[in-house]
Structure 1
Amino acid sequence: MAHLHQHDSQDANAKRLLWAFAITAVFMVAEVIGGLFSGSLALLADAGHMLTDAAALLVALIAVQFARRPPNSRRTFGWLRLTTLAAFVNALALVVITLLIAWEAIQRFSHPRPVAGWTMLTIAIAGLLANIASFWILHRGSEEKNLNVRAAALHVLGDLLGSVGAIIAALIILRTGWTPIDPILSILVSCLVLRSAWSLLKESVNELLEGAPGAIDIETLKKKLSRGIPEVRNVHHVHIWLVGEKPLMTLHVQVVPPHDHDALLGRIHHFLAQEYQIEHATVQMEYQPCNGPHCDLNEHDHPGHAHHHRSG
């Protein structure tokens, strides 16, 4: 059932990304035509931003398609990590884009450019509607937690906020003729997007470096496992990481020699699945205390460290 749910989630993510890509690409073409027709450099620059968004959505869509490929002898986890890599690339690109936008805005304070207010307003409203549609498509349903989809949605969010800023700027320009409002609002929107992009960048880097999920505290997990299962005396060598946002785990547990080894192992697996949603864990059971520096979390086993074990 979990395998079927995973495929259903991937299918849903692929459809959302495809629809968002189609909307973004169509509007990008419309914005290029509008920019050329009006002679507005601002609109053409925004069309370049939309081109980057379309490319980001396409990369995310390709990553989802690759992630659906089954594991093999060389890639035992399949291509699940590719979605995280795509999220990292998208987040990094978004950071670079926002910094470039901020730099361009600063330049416009000293070298202001004429802005076609009505054309800017019309295209901005159309862009807002397109971005709202794309953002809604990417965020509806339970799969909105997917890191890759969130990265793509952040690109769309950047354009959505940019469209709102452009509408406000266009209205002010049409009413007062004060063009500096355009770069001012661009900087404010860039700061909002940069904050979210930086958070996503750190999260994707942590996953690529096989860091523990932020929602799981290892020390608390060890204590809860010892308290929840009386036969467990000590928990060590705990390693948790993510592959395609699926938590994986290996751990050693010192236990009282059980009458039913498999039943105790099953209880440990059930605890991890129920309490932490960890459905893939390798548990090594030991009957003797683990002493010495080799029992530290980040140390390797010393040669000659003998123990009985059973993996599940």
Structure 2
Amino acid sequence: MAGHAHAHGDHSGHSHTVAADADRRWLRAALILITAFMAVEVVIGFVARSLALISDAAHMLTDAASIVLALIAMRLAARPARGGYTYGLKRAEILSAQANGVTLLVLSVWLAYEAVHRLVEPPEVTGGLVLVTALAGVVVNLVATWCISKANRSSLNVEGAYQHILTDLFGFIATAVAGAVVLTTGFARADAIASLLVVALMLKAGIGLVRDSGRIFMEAAPAGVDPDALGDRLVAADQVVEIHDLHIWEITSGDPALSAHVLVAPGGDCHKVRRTLQELLAAEYGITHATLQVDHLGEQDSGGELLRIGDRQAPDTADQPSGAHCADTHGPVHRPGPHDH
């Protein structure tokens, strides 16, 4: 029974058509709101000579772009797998999330530069116009934030658009306070200080998005899953004597996948072990897309060598046995008892 490679995955569960349609409706509603208000805000920002308003409008432009990007990515990700793209275009959503994060970082650098310049040489700012426009912006962003919060934020793509809108909401609150300060005290630098607060929020959101999308591109294990602990959990199952070549990654946010080579005790039931491990992965880790190669310990592989514990050593080990199985195991080997990591 050597060389049983079993694939198991709930592919039908990955395309939630109804939920995706609802997500798109909420995103489109937020897009219409933001685009309309942004056009008004740019005009008022130039009239009032307020960097805080213009920076908010610039951020709203990236909000609109982030939602458009999210909508395009959702449509691409929904396409079925074909040709060379065996997972389909699911990672288009992660590309979108990363683009949103990078946009936030680039914009924050530009706004920080402008804000520092205005701190040194503050221009005249029309506080009343700034205050009224910012308060209107708070209302618009509250509604837009609510719209996007109704969509599925477990998608890193939707979360990217949400972070854009949320930082904009905080930005408008800071701008409204700055407008009130300028109006009541004449302290023009309040406008630039408000811009710097928005910059700090944009940096935080941007770094988070780039980090999280980078983890998926680098095939890192999903956040909250410790591959070593998971390997130890699998090898503790009945009849399992070794787990190696264990890989855990995410195809897109919320869509984890796993592959592993499992060695079973001689005479053990390979099929039962595979089913047990896949049920464990689904129940305890939410991993329903698992590919497990299950072999009996001591059986001959197709190359003629016996599968033995201890044959899997680092590729640069001097005493590597000739014909050893899985010469490079790509990570730790998990065995019952004292763990050989």
TM over 0.5: yes
Q: Distance in 2 between matches of 1:153 and 1:306?
A: 48
Paired AA for residue 233 in structure 1: V
The residue number in structure 2 matching 1:199 is 208
Identity over the aligned pairs, expressed in percent? 32
Q: Distance in 1 between matches of 2:106 and 2:14?
A: 38
Q: Deviations over 1:154-177 (max 9, x none)?
A: 111121111000010011111100
Change in CA separation of 1:290 and 1:140 when aligned onto 2, cut-off 3 Å: farther
Secondary structure of the residue aligned to 1:241 is strand
User: 2:145 aligned to 131, 135, 144, which one?
Assistant: 135
Q: Distance in 1 between matches of 2:196 and 2:34?
A: 23
Are the counterparts in 1 of residues 73 and 92 from structure 2 also a CA contact under 8 Å? yes
Residue 12 (structure 1) shift: 2.9
Q: Structure 1 residue 235 and structure 2 residue 243: aligned? A: yes
Paired AA for residue 157 in structure 1: L
Q: Distance in 1 between matches of 2:157 and 2:322?
A: 41
Q: Distance in 2 between matches of 1:67 and 1:171?
A: 45
Query: Which one has the bigger helix percentage?
Result: 1
User: 2:159 aligned to 147, 150, 161, which one?
Assistant: 150
User: 1:49 aligned to 53, 59, 71, which one?
Assistant: 59
Secondary structure of the residue aligned to 1:215 is coil
Change in CA separation of 1:202 and 1:45 when aligned onto 2, cut-off 3 Å: closer
Instruction: Name the Cα RMSD after superposition.
Output: 2.2
The residue number in structure 2 matching 1:167 is 176
Q: Structure 1 residue 69 and structure 2 residue 88: aligned? A: no
Secondary structure of the residue aligned to 1:144 is coil
Q: Deviations over 1:188-232 (max 9, x none)?
A: 2321331232122111011112122121101100111222x2111
Residue 45 (structure 1) shift: 4.2
Residue 122 (structure 1) shift: 1.2
Residue 51 (structure 1) shift: 1.5
Q: Distance in 2 between matches of 1:264 and 1:238?
A: 16
Secondary structure of the residue aligned to 2:16 is helix
Quick check: which has more Rg, 1 or 2? 2
Unaligned runs of 5+ residues in structure 2 are: 1-9, 298-307, 316-320, 327-341
Residue 32 (structure 1) shift: 2.8
Paired AA for residue 261 in structure 1: C
Q: Distance in 2 between matches of 1:73 and 1:242?
A: 21
Unaligned runs of 5+ residues in structure 1 are: 297-301, 308-312
Q: Distance in 1 between matches of 2:220 and 2:226?
A: 12
Between Structure 1 and Structure 2, how many residues are aligned? 299
Residue 304 (structure 1) shift: 4.5
Secondary structure of the residue aligned to 2:153 is helix
Q: Deviations over 1:228-251 (max 9, x none)?
A: x21112111111111122111110
Q: Distance in 2 between matches of 1:167 and 1:97?
A: 21
Counterparts of 1:206-285 in structure 2, within 5 Å, are 206-227=215-236, 229-245=237-253, 246-257=255-266, 260-285=269-294
With structure 2 as the length reference, what TM-score do the two structures score?
0.81
Residue 259 (structure 1) shift: 5.5
Paired AA for residue 310 in structure 2: N
The residue number in structure 2 matching 1:16 is 26
Q: Distance in 1 between matches of 2:322 and 2:176?
A: 68
User: 1:189 aligned to 183, 190, 198, which one?
Assistant: 198
Are the counterparts in 2 of residues 13 and 64 from structure 1 also a CA contact under 8 Å? no
Q: Distance in 1 between matches of 2:83 and 2:32?
A: 36
With structure 1 as the length reference, what TM-score do the two structures score?
0.88
User: 2:310 aligned to 264, 272, 291, which one?
Assistant: 291
Change in CA separation of 1:173 and 1:48 when aligned onto 2, cut-off 3 Å: same
